[in-house]
C-alpha cells in the first residue's frame, strides 16, 4: 500500500488517463508578441528645406519597431510620414512617422531662400586664402560662372526641372532653384571615359548623351599684377591684372585647323590671335574665320556677357593687349620669338595670357614643372563636362590655352600642360584644352 500511495503524480495521472479516458491538462500558451512602440534610431540627413520644396527627403533615416518580447525590426521602408508643409517658412515643423498604429516624430526647418546676388563688384577674399600661389597672393571674387556639378538627388530638392525663374546670360540660361541659387544645365561631353566630377565623384558622361546641372558660383581670381599696362604706353595707365584660378570651360577652338600650302588663308595665319575664335568667344565679337564657320556665333553672347552683369562689364578696363613678337617668348627671352606669326595689338575686355606673361607672373622658370607649380590650373566640373582634359594624378591640373603663336608653325599655339610646363604647344584645332581668362580692372 505504501508503494501505491507513493506513486508519483505523473504516473498516477497516466493511470487515470488509461482507465478513465480523460486527457491531461495542457501547458499555458505563450501570447503572441505585439508591437510596443517605434523609434527613429537615425533621423534623416536633410533637416532644412526651402519654401516650395516638393517633397520630404528621408535619406539616412532609420526606424526600428520594438515588440513586447524585446525583439526589434527595421521597418524604415514600411513607414508613412505626415506633417510636411513647405508653403511657408517655419523654424520647427513636426513630421510624424507611422507604422502599425504607432508613431514617432522628428522636426525639420522650412526657410526662405536667399536670392543669389551676382558678383558685379570685385570682392577681396580674406588674408590667408590659398590658391595657385599658395597664400602668398591676393585673391578676389568677381563675376559668376557654372562650376560644381549638382548631385542628382539635389535636382528635385532645388526644383530645377520645374523652375520658371530663368535669366538669359550671354549664351547660357541661368535657372534659379528653390534655394535662391542659379544653375545651368549642360550636355556632358567628357574627353574620355573614367572622368569623375570633383564635387561628388560621379562619372562624367560622354558624347552629349546625358545632361547634368551645375551650380553658378563666383569666379575666383588671383591679382597677378597691381600695375598692369593697359594702354600699351608702358605704365601711362595701369590696372590690376586678374587671372582666373581655374579652368572654367572648354570646347572652344583656338582656331579651325585648315592646312593649306602656306598654312594661312586670306592673309591670316591660323595661330593669329586677333582673328582667332577663342578671342571672339571671350569678348562676344565677330571674327575672321573660315567661311564654313559663323562669324557671328559669339556676337554679344560670349564669355564676357555670360560671366558678368552689364554693371560689371562697365568696370572692366578695355586693355590694349600686346600680341607682338616680344610677347611670344618667356620672361627670360630663352624661347625663340614668333616673329612671322605675331599680330597687331587688340583692344579687349577679356583675354588669354601670353607666353611672356604666364612665365612673368609665375613663381617658376619657364621650363620648370611639377606638383606645386603656380601655373597649374584645376579643371572645374563644368569644364570637365565641356571636353577639357584633367590629369587623374593628385596635384596636377588640366591643359589651357595661351594667346601666343608658336614660332615654328602657323597652325600651333602655346598652352600650359597639366604639370605647369610653359614651353609647350599644340595645333590650334585641338579641342581638349581649357579656358583660363584674364582681365584688367581698377578697384
Confidence at residue 77, expressed as pLDDT on a 0 to 100 scale: 96
Distance from C-alpha of 336 to C-alpha of 406, rounded to nearest angstrom: 9
Pairing status of strand 139-149 against strand 316-317 = unpaired
- 281: nearest Cα among 306, 309, 259: 306
Confidence at residue 278, expressed as pLDDT on a 0 to 100 scale: 93
Confidence at residue 307, expressed as pLDDT on a 0 to 100 scale: 98
Ordered by start, the domain boundaries in the chain are 35-111, 123-218, 223-441
**DSSP output for 21-33:** -PPPPPPPPPPPP
Could you give phi then psi for residue 111, rounded to 5 degrees?
-125, 155
**DSSP output for 107-174:** EEEEE---------S-EEPPTT--BTTBTSS-EEEEEEEEEEEPPHHHHHHTTTTT---EEEETTEEE
* Whether the Cβ atoms of residue 215 and residue 148 lie closer than 8 Å to each other: yes
For the CA atoms of the chain, what is the radius of gyration?
A: 34
Read off the pLDDT of each residue in 394-405 and give the average, rounded to a whole number.
96
The one-character DSSP state at 78 is G
**Exposure letters 332-363 (e unless 16+ CB within 10 A, then b):** eeebebbeebbbebbebbbbbbbbbbbbebbe
- 416: nearest Cα among 385, 383, 390: 390
In 135-283, where does DSSP find H-type helix?
A: 152-157, 277-283
- 79: nearest Cα among 102, 57, 56: 102
What does the pLDDT look like over 37-60, one tens digit per residue?
999 999 999 999 888 888 899 999
pLDDT higher than 90, residue 102 = yes
Consecutive H or E run containing 217: strand 211-229
pTM of the predicted model, to two decimals? 0.80
pLDDT higher than 80, residue 196 = yes
Confidence at residue 27, expressed as pLDDT on a 0 to 100 scale: 60
What does the pLDDT look like over 137-195, one tens digit per residue?
999 999 999 999 999 989 988 999 999 999 999 999 999 999 999 999 999 999 999 99
Fold category of 35-111 in CATH: Immunoglobulin-like (2.60.40)
Confidence at residue 288, expressed as pLDDT on a 0 to 100 scale: 56
Read off the pLDDT of each residue in 341-360 and give the average, rounded to a whole number.
96
3-state secondary structure of 241: strand
Confidence at residue 257, expressed as pLDDT on a 0 to 100 scale: 60
Confidence at residue 7, expressed as pLDDT on a 0 to 100 scale: 46
Distance from C-alpha of 156 to C-alpha of 111, rounded to nearest angstrom: 17
* Whether the Cβ atoms of residue 195 and residue 381 lie closer than 8 Å to each other: no
Confidence at residue 25, expressed as pLDDT on a 0 to 100 scale: 57
Distance from C-alpha of 195 to C-alpha of 29, rounded to nearest angstrom: 64
Confidence at residue 234, expressed as pLDDT on a 0 to 100 scale: 74
* Whether the Cβ atoms of residue 302 and residue 171 lie closer than 8 Å to each other: yes
Confidence at residue 113, expressed as pLDDT on a 0 to 100 scale: 84
Confidence at residue 15, expressed as pLDDT on a 0 to 100 scale: 41
Amino acid at each position: 500500500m505504501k508503494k501505491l500511495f507513493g506513486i508519483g503524480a505523473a504516473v498516477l495521472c497516466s493511470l487515470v488517463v488509461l482507465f478513465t479516458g480523460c486527457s491531461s491538462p495542457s501547458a499555458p500558451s505563450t501570447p503572441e508578441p505585439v508591437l510596443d512602440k517605434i523609434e527613429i534610431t537615425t533621423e534623416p540627413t536633410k533637416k532644412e528645406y526651402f519654401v516650395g520644396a516638393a517633397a520630404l527627403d528621408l535619406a539616412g533615416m532609420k526606424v526600428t519597431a520594438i515588440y513586447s518580447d524585446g525583439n526589434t525590426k527595421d521597418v524604415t521602408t514600411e513607414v508613412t510620414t505626415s506633417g510636411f508643409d513647405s508653403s511657408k517658412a517655419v523654424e520647427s515643423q513636426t513630421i510624424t512617422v507611422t507604422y502599425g498604429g504607432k508613431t514617432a516624430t522628428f522636426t525639420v526647418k522650412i526657410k526662405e531662400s536667399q536670392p543669389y546676388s551676382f558678383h558685379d563688384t570685385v570682392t577681396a577674399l580674406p588674408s590667408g586664402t590659398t590658391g595657385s600661389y599658395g597664400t602668398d597672393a591676393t585673391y578676389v571674387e568677381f563675376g559668376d560662372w557654372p562650376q560644381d556639378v549638382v548631385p542628382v538627388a539635389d535636382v528635385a530638392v532645388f526644383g530645377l526641372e520645374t523652375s520658371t525663374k530663368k535669366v538669359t546670360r550671354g549664351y547660357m540660361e541661368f535657372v534659379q532653384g528653390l534655394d535662391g541659387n542659379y544653375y545651368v544645365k549642360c550636355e556632358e561631353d567628357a574627353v574620355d571615359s573614367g572622368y569623375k566630377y570633383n564635387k561628388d565623384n560621379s562619372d562624367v558622361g560622354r558624347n552629349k548623351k546625358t545632361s547634368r546641372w551645375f551650380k553658378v558660383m563666383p569666379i575666383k581670381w588671383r591679382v597677378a599684377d597691381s600695375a598692369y599696362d593697359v594702354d600699351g604706353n608702358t605704365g601711362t595707365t595701369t590696372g590690376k591684372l586678374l587671372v582666373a584660378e581655374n579652368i572654367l570651360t572648354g570646347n572652344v577652338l583656338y582656331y579651325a585647323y585648315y592646312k593649306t600650302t602656306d598654312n594661312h588663308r586670306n592673309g591670316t595665319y591660323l595661330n593669329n590671335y586677333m582673328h582667332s575664335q577663342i578671342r571672339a568667344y571671350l569678348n562676344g565679337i565677330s571674327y575672321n574665320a573660315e567661311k564654313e564657320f559663323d562669324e557671328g556665333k559669339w556676337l554679344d553672347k560670349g564669355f564676357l556677357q555670360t560671366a558678368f552683369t552689364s554693371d560689371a562689364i562697365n568696370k572692366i578696363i578695355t586693355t590694349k593687349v600686346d600680341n607682338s613678337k616680344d610677347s611670344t617668348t618667356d620672361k627670360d627671352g630663352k624661347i625663340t620669338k614668333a616673329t612671322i606669326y605675331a599680330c597687331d595689338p587688340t583692344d579687349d575686355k577679356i583675354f588669354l595670357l601670353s607666353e611672356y606673361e604666364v612665365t612673368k607672373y609665375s613663381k617658376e622658370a619657364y621650363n620648370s614643372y611639377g606638383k606645386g607649380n603656380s601655373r597649374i590650373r584645376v579643371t572645374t566640373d563644368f569644364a570637365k563636362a565641356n571636353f577639357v582634359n584633367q590629369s587623374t594624378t593628385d596635384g596636377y591640373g588640366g591643359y589651357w590655352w595661351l594667346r601666343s603663336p608658336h614660332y615654328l608653325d602657323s597652325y600651333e599655339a602655346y598652352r600650359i600642360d597639366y604639370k605647369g610646363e610653359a614651353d609647350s604647344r599644340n595645333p590650334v584645332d585641338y579641342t581638349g584644352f581649357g579656358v583660363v581668362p584674364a582681365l584688367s580692372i581698377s578697384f
